Amino acid sequence: MTAKLEPNVMTKVSSWLNGDYDIDTKQSIQQLIDEGNDTELTDAFYKDLEFGTGGLRGLIGIGSNRMNRYTVGTATQGLANYLNKAFPNEAKSVAVAYDSRIKSDEFAKIIADIFSANGISVYLFEGLRPTPELSFAIRLLGCKSGVVVTASHNPKEYNGYKAYWDDGSQVVAPHDTNIINEVNAIQSIDEVKFDGDSSKITKIGTEVDDKYINHILSLSISKGALERQKGLKIVYTPLHGTGVTLVPQLLAKMGFEAVTIIEEQAEPKGNGQFPTVVYPNPEESEAMSKAVEKAKQIDADLVMGTDPDSDRVGIAVKNHHGEIQLLNGNQTASVLIYYLLNAWKDAGKLTGTQFVCKTIVTTDLIDKMAAAYDVKCYNTLTGFKYIAQVIREKEGKEQFIGGGEESYGYLIGDAVRDKDAIASCAMIAELTAYAKDKGLSLFDMLMEIYKQFGFYYEGLISLTKKGKSGADEIQQMMADFRANPPKTIAGSPVVRMDDYKALTTTDFKSGNTASIPSGEMGIESSNVLQFFTEDGTKFTCRPSGTEPKIKFYVGVRAALEKNEDFDSVYASLKEKVKAIGEELNLK
């Protein structure tokens, strides 16, 4: 073995070569050694995959830092061990779902087998299903846990594993740490029980679909507008993912008669290759380009696209120039929450106990709107599991209306405890019909919001830093911002810094430092920094928990007096975000 490898990498490589791993895996490792491919060996073995904000996620391939039957198997065995300790002497069941990615169905079968071999009953979806339906199924079927195999919107080379708890939310503290401890306690692959018990595995399908769809239909608020605007022209693309299993039939049940599906992206073909897109991510304009082009051809009112596991949705609408324009996640979250607040108010349902929820990097426009309706707005760390945590903490005391995050994930109602692109597609279509019923486009509604509450604009600067060297560089960038916080941003003095790793907030004017409350409301120690300026600019630094990236969120705002000023104000805010990126040397 090459002497250039670090000792911990050499130890892991040796354990895989000498352990009970299949011959193909061992031959692939040996080939990398023979080729002297130290970089690939290091990246594949320098660490174990860990649960981040989205669970287990990584490149598909050999090694402890890759998605394969052994890392998936070890994670599942650890989860099974924890479930058996957490719920002793109880009958336990889990739900398992999967998306259209490479090896997703294979990994799902392995997961089901391991749970069943550990005496845990399994509800395994018979085919592709959206992630939010897995969350719904856990609650519906009374499961203690659940797993969905997906890497969400990551590139095709990735797959992943999201673990859920009995309330249908992704695992949070202390369960996440406890599961990892159980995984780490596994000393040998021989401890993983790969031989399943088929008598404990039950296939589920349309019976759960029907209950999930009926739940979403029950969330509808403006039934009159739906009936009057059933000819609303909608273009939908599932981007080769699971959305095709439910969104078209859901829109049909809502009464929409002019829905166009992008057929070449309607089937999850290509063996997880996503052949018509570079990235299957509705945040990317390229991924939405076929749907947008179709919308231009047929003069559509609304474009929607869901990612492979259907927890995120991107949209496009006609702007004030009559052109099809993509909205970002903050804009979509804003119109959704605005619509829900208005609808609840009109229905006389706002009693002072309602709340909405968002993450700390999502637009503060939502905070301002909620305050105007006397509705609380709770802010959490990034990751929808923290929004679910707030819902759980407030259950029986306060009522959740809806919530969202800037990365295109939204939730309406609390029957699902994860971001839900299926229900979001339904509600976005409904609010577009509601607006049209009043002679407005969805974009007109957005401009009305900006005029009433202020024009909030958020930019994201995302830097990819791959491998171990990239991870080291990301950590150094965070250390530098902590040691030398910016004095000014875009000419405005920085007045406050929130450090979520230390759980402290520092007032630079007074020099006082106080604690950020932890434990409840989705706040725990996390490597995130936020800086606030005198003029209302917010700057956030955050390494991704699921990708080799560091993300910088820049929020700025200005007044919008009239619609005619939209373009000039928008341009000035975008330029300000760009200038901040250059000023802070974000590259």
- 133-142, 435-444, 451-460, 515-524: which has the minimum mean pLDDT? 515-524
pTM of the model: 0.93
For the stretch 28-78, pLDDT in tens is 999 999 999 999 999 999 998 876 555 688 999 999 999 999 999 999 999
State the average pLDDT over residues 439-449.
Answer: 97
State the average pLDDT over residues 504-525.
Answer: 83
Rounded to whole angstroms, the Cα distance separating 361 from 408 reads 12
State the average pLDDT over residues 309-326.
Answer: 97
Rounded to whole angstroms, the Cα distance separating 87 from 503 reads 32
Structure tokens at 125: 């979806």
Q: Is the pLDDT of residue 438 over 60?
A: yes
Contact yes or no for 207/275 (Cβ under 8 A): no
- As annotated, the active-site residues are 152
Q: Is the pLDDT of residue 544 over 90?
A: no
For the stretch 133-144, pLDDT in tens is 999 999 999 999
Residue 552 is classified by DSSP as E
Longest dimension (CA), the chain: 73
Rounded to whole angstroms, the Cα distance separating 77 from 474 reads 32
Look at phi and psi of residue 55 and say left if phi exceeds 0, alpha if psi is from -120 to 50, else beta: left
Residue with tokens 């208005």: 342
Q: Is the pLDDT of residue 442 over 90?
A: yes
Q: Is the pLDDT of residue 477 over 60?
A: yes
Confidence of residue 259 (pLDDT cuts 50, 70, 90): very high
The type of residue at 14 is S
* Structure confidence at residue 193 (pLDDT): 98
Q: Is the pLDDT of residue 270 over 60?
A: no
Confidence of residue 524 (pLDDT cuts 50, 70, 90): confident
Q: What is the DSSP string of 4-71?
A: TS-HHHHHHHHHHHHSS--HHHHHHHHHHHHHT-HHHHHHHHSS----BTTBEEEEBSSSTTSBSHHH
Contact yes or no for 436/229 (Cβ under 8 A): yes
| Burial annotation 314-323 (CB, 10 A radius, 16+ → b, else e) | bbbbbbeeee
Residues 6+ apart with CB under 8 A from 494: 485, 486, 487, 488, 508, 531, 532, 533
* Structure confidence at residue 238 (pLDDT): 97
Confidence of residue 520 (pLDDT cuts 50, 70, 90): low
Structure tokens at 507: 């007032």
pLDDT higher at 180 or 372: 372
Burial of 302 (0-12, 13-18, 19+ CB in 10 A): buried
Positive or negative torsion for Cα 83, 389, 139, 122: negative
Q: Is the pLDDT of residue 173 over 90?
A: no
Beta strands at 313-318 and 56-59: parallel, antiparallel or unpaired: unpaired
Q: Is the pLDDT of residue 519 over 80?
A: no
State the average pLDDT over residues 213-224.
Answer: 96
* Structure confidence at residue 522 (pLDDT): 66
Structure tokens at 409: 């994930």
Strand (E) or helix (H) holding 531 = strand 529-533
Rounded to whole angstroms, the Cα distance separating 506 from 135 reads 38
Confidence of residue 383 (pLDDT cuts 50, 70, 90): confident
* Structure confidence at residue 267 (pLDDT): 81
Contact yes or no for 344/350 (Cβ under 8 A): yes
Using alpha carbons, select from 481, 520, 534 the residue that is nearest to residue 392.
520
For the stretch 370-380, pLDDT in tens is 999 999 999 99
